[in-house]
Structure 1
């Protein structure tokens, strides 16, 4: 059983990593190429939304839902099984 974390990597392409490890190049587990492409595309969209700031609240909500769905699909695709922690993004406020 693998323990993995899925979260936005706004400055790179490492949105999936093993728990208690630093993100490394590539995917930490073998995944179907189509799923990897979807993960990387999601990361790009999420990074853009994170950098956009307060104008992106509805976009972040949608992308967080997409991330949760990807986490479930990753867990099902990992040989031997996996538990995935999804790290959602939210807007920061200094109010």
Structure 2
């Protein structure tokens, strides 16, 4: 996949003391997607919180951004296979 084709990439930090708590703040970002996304835009969501699984993104997208269609997951390199669903999750959607 050519990563340059994405119109919007969202990759907030997992925890930034006093600023960002991913479990609390990611849904706030997803609620506002329509303010940032153009029609037919492609979206890449990144999540690097070991305690949150890919379903965290999928369920919040279904609830908060139901007009976005899931396209694919970009899997990490094989060297990170032991961290399955605990490492970086990258999911792509289309508006």
Shared fold, TM over 0.5: no
Greater fraction strand = 2
Structure number with higher helix proportion: 1
| TM-score, length-scaled by structure 2 | 0.31
TM-score, length-scaled by structure 1: 0.31
